[in-house]
Structure 1
Amino acid sequence: SYETAAEIRMLRTLGADAVGMSTVPEVIVARQMGIKVLAISCITNVHGGQHSEHLTHSEVLEVGARVHDQFAALLRAVLPILAQDVAQA
């Protein structure tokens, strides 16, 4: 299930700018193993919790499909930089 309006309000009160499903636990584990991490997220529910209608999975998929090309371009730009960083390490 997706975030409720109450959860979004609470998280905003606590200082959150975005809500993710799994990035933080994965980063914590990777860092404990000494792995460098770069997290890039696509926020598919920009107005999460602000409307009374429940977000559907198909709406999330639609947003993902809409930003696919931009996201791919971002990765194509970032990956060579990361590869260069790894080569210098």
Structure 2
Amino acid sequence: MAKCLDEGVDPTHMCQSLVDRISRSRALNSIAEPELLPLFEDWLEELEKEFVRQAEKSQSSDAALMAEKLGLSMAGAQFLKAKLEQEGKI
């Protein structure tokens, strides 16, 4: 999974931007192809599952540790941690 995320694309920025747009679904529908939303949602769901799995395995949801394990930037790991905590998943 880390290799896919380590191709010069900052998943944190992309994720935060798309999550913001998803929350404003009308705006998203006017600027994005309808096929992109399910792809993003699938990717984010898989990334979240892996974050939770790694957090359970290591008994820690430390953002620095998750960034290393998942190949994310620190900001990306912090974003996912906060999102998952808010949703009660970790």
> Which of structures 1 and 2 has the bigger CA Rg?
1
Does TM, scored on the shorter chain, surpass 0.5?
no
Relative to the length of structure 1, the TM-score reads 0.31
Relative to the length of structure 2, the TM-score reads 0.31
Q: Would you tell me which structure has more helix in proportion to its own residues?
A: 2
